[in-house]
């Protein structure tokens, strides 16, 4: 099969490459770009470990062909760190509230939480649970994941208020 030229922006960086159209976005990110934050969990669009942000929407990158993402802007968990490399607010709150146990689901959880809080900066606990329903934690550590997202929302809102 002939390869197709793809050009996308990943974590603010322009990247280009040749890929078979059938290559999945998750494989392009991990194998071609070495961005291994997004994980391959179930590989059947159930678990959400491969979640990335694509043009402002959370998507499961195991169920998107890289050809579909041609021209798109992608953010992975790596792109949510502060510019100096320190943990971003959501990442820091996951650390603080022990929002991870084995850590496998964490990149997907944090990336999804980022989009959820962009759309709904002040969610109720119920809205957080509904909003992360596409991400599974097999350690079942949901309590602290939800706490971490609620704490991140509070801190982001406080920072926004302080800036205004």
Partner 1 sequence: MIPAGFAYHRPADVASAIAVLQEHGDEARVLAGGHSLIPMMKLRMAAPAHLVDLQDIAELRGIEIGADAVTIGAMVTQHDLIAHEGLAEALPIIREAALQIADPQVRYKGTIGGNVANGDPGNDMPGLMQCLDATYTLAGPDGTREVKAREFYEAAYFTAREDDEILTRITIPRPAAGTGWAYEKVKRKIGDYATAAAAVLVGKGTASVAMTNLADTPVWSEAASAALAAGDVEGCVAAMLEAIDPVEDNRGPVAFKKHAAGVVLRRAIARAQSRAG
Figure out which of the listed residues 68, 87, 92, 96 binds partner 1, where binding follows CB under 8 A.
68
Residue 59 binding partner 1, by CB under 8 A = yes
What tokens appear for 104 in the block? 């496998």
What lies within 8 Å, CB to CB, of 136 at 6+ separation is 41, 42, 46, 47, 48, 49, 105
8 Å CB contact between 38 and 108: yes
The 51-54 sheet, strands edge to edge:
13-19, 4-10, 73-75, 51-54, 57-60
Residue 48 binding partner 1, by CB under 8 A = yes
Q: Which is nearer to partner 1, 89 or 116 (CB)?
A: 116
Q: Between residue 81 and residue 120, which ones bind partner 1 under the rule CB under 8 A?
A: 112, 116
Q: Which is nearer to partner 1, 37 or 131 (CB)?
A: 131
Figure out which of the listed residues 64, 80, 90, 148 binds partner 1, where binding follows CB under 8 A.
64
Figure out which of the listed residues 29, 35, 39, 58 binds partner 1, where binding follows CB under 8 A.
58
As measured in angstroms, the least distance from the Cβ of 21 to partner 1 is 4
Considering only the C-alpha atoms of the chain, give the largest distance between any 2 of them, rounded to a whole number of Å. Answer: 55
Rounding to the nearest 10 degrees, give the CA dihedral for residues 164, 82, 99, 75. Answer: 100
Q: Between residue 124 and residue 153, which ones bind partner 1 under the rule CB under 8 A?
A: 131-134
Residue-wise burial string across 136-152, b where 16 or more C-beta atoms lie within 10 A, e elsewhere: bbeeebbebbbbbbbbb
Candidates 66-74, 76-84, 89-97, 149-157: pick the segment binding partner 1 (CB under 8 A).
Answer: 66-74
The residues of the shown chain that bind partner 1, judged by CB under 8 A, are: 1-2, 4, 20-22, 24, 43-46, 48, 51, 57-60, 63-65, 67-68, 70, 112, 116, 131-134
């Amino acid at each position: 099969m002939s390869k197709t030229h793809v050009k996308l922006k990943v974590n603010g960086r322009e990247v280009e490459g040749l890929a078979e159209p059938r290559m999945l976005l998750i494989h392009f990110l991990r194998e071609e770009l070495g961005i291994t934050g997004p994980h391959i969990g179930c590989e059947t669009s159930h678990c959400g470990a491969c979640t990335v942000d694509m043009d402002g929407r959370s998507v499961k990158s195991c169920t998107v062909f890289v050809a579909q993402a041609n021209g798109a802007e992608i953010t992975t968990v790596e792109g949510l760190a502060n510019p100096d490399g320190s943990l971003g607010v959501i990442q820091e709150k996951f650390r603080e509230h022990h929002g991870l146990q084995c850590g496998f689901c964490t990149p997907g959880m944090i990336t999804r939480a980022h989009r959820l809080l962009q759309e709904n900066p002040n969610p109720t606990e119920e809205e957080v649970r509904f909003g992360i329903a596409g991400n599974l934690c097999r350690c079942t550590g949901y309590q602290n994941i939800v706490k971490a997202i609620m704490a991140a929302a509070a801190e982001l809102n406080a920072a926004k208020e302080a800036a205004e």
